[in-house]
Amino acid sequence: MSKEKHRKESAGCPVGSFFKSMEVLFGSGSDIGGHLQRSQLELLKAIRAWADGRMEHLEQQGPSKRQKKVTKIKVD
């Protein structure tokens, strides 16, 4: 039951599912497990760096040209 529950929880993220299955196969204490843990950390750092760069780019662009300005209309 716990394995079935675990599969359902990690089904949404293929990367997380991959690292979990490798941890189950090789164990976290093995050399392979250590390499996988470090690679997982590097992957997360890369995603964070990409997200930071993307946010900075969007902040420098300012408001989108497609964004419409609100105009107040007086209704009688």
**pLDDT of res. 37:** 83
48 within domain boundaries: yes
pTM for this one? Answer: 0.54
pLDDT of residue 10: 46
**Of 5 and 60, the one with more pLDDT:** 60
List, for residues 19-69, the tens digit of each pLDDT value.
888 888 887 777 887 888 888 899 999 999 999 999 999 888 876 665 667
- The answer to the question of residue 12 being in a domain is yes
Q: Which residues contact 16 (CB under 8 A, 6 or more apart)?
A: 10
Q: 70 in a domain, yes or no?
A: no
Q: Is residue 9 part of a domain?
A: yes
Domain assignment of residue 40, yes or no? yes
**Does 16 have pLDDT greater than 50?**
yes
Residue 74, in any domain of the structure: no
Identify the domain containing residue 17 by its residue range: 2-61
Let me know if residue 32 belongs to a domain: yes
Alpha carbon dihedral 44, 13, 59, 46, in 10-degree steps, equals: 20
- Residue 17's nearest CA partner among 64, 55, 66, 25 is 25
Domain count, the chain: 1
